[in-house]
Structures are given as C-alpha cells and as structure tokens.
Structure 1
Amino acid sequence: MTYENILVEKQGKTAIVTINREDKLNALNALTLRELSAALDVISEDTSLRGLIITGKGEKAFVAGADIKEFVGKSVDEAMELSRFGHEMVMNKIHNFKKPIVALLNGFALGGGLELALSCHLRVAVATAKVGLPEVSLGIIPGYGGTQRLTQLVGRGKALEMIMTGDVIDAHEALQWGLVNHVVQSHEELLPKANLILEKIYSRSSSAIAAAIDAVNVGIIDSGKGFEKEIELFGKSFGSDDMLEGVTAFLEKRKPNF
C-alpha cells in the first residue's frame, strides 16, 4: 500500500511508521490521519509483526501539532466530527492496539502531536525534545484525548497546569513527571533504545501482552471493572498455548519459545 504523508517500513518483527511532512513539521492533517488509520489496520493483521514504532521525519519535530489551516471556517458540528474522527480512527485505535507501540519523540510534540504520543503505549524522547498542549492559545482545548491521557499519566494538577498555561516542557521534565518512559541524548540513540525495549517484549508471550494491554486500558476507564477484567483475562490465559509453553519452559529450566 502506498501513502502520501507517511512512510511504512518493516525491520524484522517491527513496523516503523514515520510522519513524512518534514516541511510542515509533520503536522497532522486529515489525509495523514486517514493514512495512519489505514496503516494501523494493515499492521494489526500482519502476523509477522510483533510491534510498532511511530516517529516523525527529520530532527525538528515528532509532530508539531494539527494542521491549523484545516480549522478555518469549521462549524461547531464539523469541529466535533473532526475530533471524533481523530479519536476513533487513530488515537483510540493506537491506545487499544494489541501489539506494543512506542513513540519516538525526535523533536517537538505539541498539541495533536503530543496527543498522538500519549495514545502510544510507551514514549522514548531525545533530550532536545519539547512537549506541550498549547491549544488554549488558539481559543480551543485539546481535541484528540489530551485532557484525558495527559491527566492519567501526570495527574490532575500538572495536566491542568500544562493545558491552562499552554507551556512547553523539555524531555527531562517530561521524564520526571512520567510523561515519557526514557530519554536518550542523541537522535542516533532513539531507534536502538526502542528496539531494545521491543525485543525484550518480543521475548514474552504475545497473547499475554495483548491481554495485559486490554486489562490496563479497562482499568483506566473504570477501576472496578479493571479488577474483574484482570480476573477474566488471567483465567483465559490458562487456556493458551503460550501459557503451556511458558510454564513448561520454566519447569524445564529453559527459555520459552513464544
């Protein structure tokens, strides 16, 4: 499948999706969102792929935000549909993806760009990266999950501070608040760090990883239901081939072959 605004490549068991609008600081427009949605569907069905990396082209920006030109002239209903499309076709699809997704923050991750990163399971940032939700400076609020996912990661107080001031923070402060998982010093270290994390995950059970993602996500929405979902998925895992292999390997004192 060919795309205009994104690049998709395979490296072993990993798909790498790059937002390819470097001259626009990789801003998210409608076409880019549609292409991301389509690529996610393809990667989801490809059994040879165990995980996904999302990043931006160049060294300036992961995604510097939404394409503001597309906001002009939109009615209230049209704006709601724009937000709904981003939520349902991209951000929620990433959030609930059954394979691990790592965002590589190679530069600015602002507005919709930070929201894209927040929807991923893990985030690795270069030390020079900057992140923020500056939407209030445009007279709007984050529309692709920023008010919810940022709060889940950093807590209500810090999330409201970032959203209400529109301030941008650097990678090290983002790490301090748990907004990113790891910070590396150079762009050259980003991909190896992500691959190191993913290779460790690939050595574990893919069915268990998918179940863990599901349980964690249900608990975010409703903590009471999260406990029940964990019980359900824990039980179901006992009927999997991976559970049989994992337990057998443990008892035989060898590495499991997942």
Structure 2
Amino acid sequence: MDYKYILREKQDHIGLLTLNHPETLNALSSAVLEELGNVFDELEADKEIYVVILTGAGRSFVAGADIAEMSRLDAEAGRAFGRLGTAVFRKIELSEKIVIAAVNGYALGGGCELAMACDIRIASVKAKFAQPEVGLGIIPGFSGTQRLPRLVGVGKAKELIYTGTPIDGTEAFRIGLVNKVTEPDQLMQEAKAMALTIASRSPLALKYAKEAINRGIETDIDTGIAFENGYFGLCFGTTEQKVQMQAFLEKKK
C-alpha cells in the first residue's frame, strides 16, 4: 500500500517508519492516524521484520495532534478523535514487533503520547517533550494521562500535564521518560544499532517477553509471575529455543 504521510524502509529485519508531513511538523490528523494504524497492520503481518524504528521528517518527531482539526470538534466528535488515536497507539504498544521511537525534535502532546506507546525511546538532546493540552482547554487524549505516570511517576506526570512545560532530551532521560539521549547527528545511528542488537535475538522470545511485561505490569506481582511462567514454558516448545541452546552448548552462533 502507498502512503501519503509515512515513508517505509526495510533492512536487516528492521522496519523504518518516517512520519513525513513536515509542513505541519508531522501533526496527527485523522488521516495520519489512520495511515499509521494501517502501516502497523502491514508490519504485523510481515514475519521478516522483528524491530520497528519510528521517527519524524524535518525538525519534528510529532508536534502534536492537528489543532486545526480539533478546533472544529464538539464533545462527541472529540471523544471519537480520542478513541481513534488511543486505538492506534494501543495497536503499537501491543504489536508483536519491538518498536523504538527515535525522537529527533518536537514530541508535543500526541507526539509525546506516540513515543510513550513505543517500547523504547531514544532522543536527541535537542528533542522537546511536553503535554501542553491544558493550555488549549483540553487534556491529553491519546492515553497520556495513563502512560506518563507509569513511566515517570505520578507526581512528575502531574507537574508536566498541569503546567504544560516542555523539557529537553536530557531532562527526559533524567526523569526516565526516554531510555537514551544522543547528539542529533547520532540519533538514527544509535537507534539502528539498538534495533540490530534486538533483531539478532529470538523473535518468539522477544514476542513472549513483550507480552509478559505488558500483561504483568497491569496486575499484582503474583499474577504477573504466573504470566511470566506461562510464556517461559511456551519458549521450550519452540524450534528457536532448541537451536539456540544447542548452538550455545556447541559454541556456535
């Protein structure tokens, strides 16, 4: 399928997605969100891709949801728009692929929420993160009120959401919002290096590890441990486990 707002590349079991609407700083309109959902449906069906890197063209990762579109919405339409963004981001979060956000610039509002839906976030020191929605008379609508406290703690999340104050990549790293911070010219190199490392691991093990984490984090620890035990057992029924453990014992790759 051809996409108007997204560029796709594929190499070494890695899919590279670039949101490509720099005229709007890659703002998330309904059309962009629908394309993003469709491209992840395609990726999910592609068994040759293990890791996805998501980034933005130009000086922005995603500058937020499309304010021009939102300004025309009533309560019911606003609720529908929020559901669309939430559904797409949840699809990314629950994808079998490991998804790395390479945040090159503005990650504001929906952009910050999109990054949080990814498994791992790598940011340029010049990246700008914020949840500025209260300054527009709304609240984060693509699950930001839920994911941000889980990543940085309730107190810090409330501060960022209540004030709308932007932070740079270095501060985002300090508070645990991103996993790694780099110089701008090293961002994609770092993201690809991490993606290659992850892609060299067992695809099924990656899938089961992600499912165990995602399911377990929302439960009490005993239930989470039970999830882990179940997925751990499933690994022993795979060809990958037999081949890789035998290779280890024989000191082979």
TM-score bracket for the superposition, by shorter chain length: over 0.9
Distance 2:243 2:153 in 1: 39
Distance 1:12 1:227 in 2: 33
Question: C-alpha displacement at 1:195, in angstroms?
Answer: 1.1
How does 1:202-241 map onto structure 2 within 5 Å? 202-224=199-221, 225-241=223-239
Distance 2:57 2:11 in 1: 17
- Runs (4+) off by over 6 Å: none
What is the root-mean-square deviation in Å for CA atoms of aligned residues? Answer: 1.1
Distance 1:178 1:254 in 2: 37
Distance 2:175 2:243 in 1: 38
Question: C-alpha displacement at 1:85, in angstroms?
Answer: 1.3
- Aligned-pair identity (%): 43
Query: What residue is the counterpart of 1:66 in the other structure?
Result: 65
How does 1:19-34 map onto structure 2 within 5 Å? 19-34=19-34
Query: What residue is the counterpart of 2:159 in the other structure?
Result: 161
Distance 1:5 1:198 in 2: 23
- Match of 2:9, SS? strand
Question: C-alpha displacement at 1:71, in angstroms?
Answer: 1.2
Q: Does the 8 Å contact 2:12/2:196 carry over to 1?
A: no
Question: C-alpha displacement at 1:12, in angstroms?
Answer: 2.9
Query: What residue is the counterpart of 2:82 in the other structure?
Result: 83
Query: What residue is the counterpart of 2:4 in the other structure?
Result: 4
TM-score (normalised: structure 2): 0.96
Residue 111 of structure 1 aligns to which amino acid in structure 2?
Answer: G
Q: Does the 8 Å contact 2:52/2:97 carry over to 1?
A: yes
Query: What residue is the counterpart of 2:49 in the other structure?
Result: 49
How does 1:79-228 map onto structure 2 within 5 Å? 79-88=78-87, 90-186=88-184, 188-224=185-221, 225-228=223-226
Deviates more, 1:243-252 or 1:20-29: 243-252
- Match of 1:226, SS? helix
Question: C-alpha displacement at 1:193, in angstroms?
Answer: 0.6
Distance 2:52 2:148 in 1: 21
Question: C-alpha displacement at 1:48, in angstroms?
Answer: 1.7
Q: Does the 8 Å contact 2:61/2:107 carry over to 1?
A: yes
TM-score (normalised: structure 1): 0.95
Consecutive unaligned residues in structure 2, runs of 5 or more: none
Residue 209 of structure 2 aligns to which amino acid in structure 1?
Answer: A
1:35-81 CA distances to partner (integer Å, 9 max, x unpaired)? Answer: 011100111111221211111111x2100100011112322222111
Distance 1:75 1:200 in 2: 46
Distance 2:199 2:25 in 1: 32
- Count of matched residue pairs: 252
- Match of 2:95, SS? coil
- Match of 1:194, SS? helix
Q: Does the 8 Å contact 2:130/2:166 carry over to 1?
A: yes
1:74-99 CA distances to partner (integer Å, 9 max, x unpaired)? Answer: 222221111111111x1001111111
Consecutive unaligned residues in structure 1, runs of 5 or more: none
- Match of 2:217, SS? helix
- Match of 1:221, SS? coil
Q: Does the 8 Å contact 2:50/2:98 carry over to 1?
A: yes
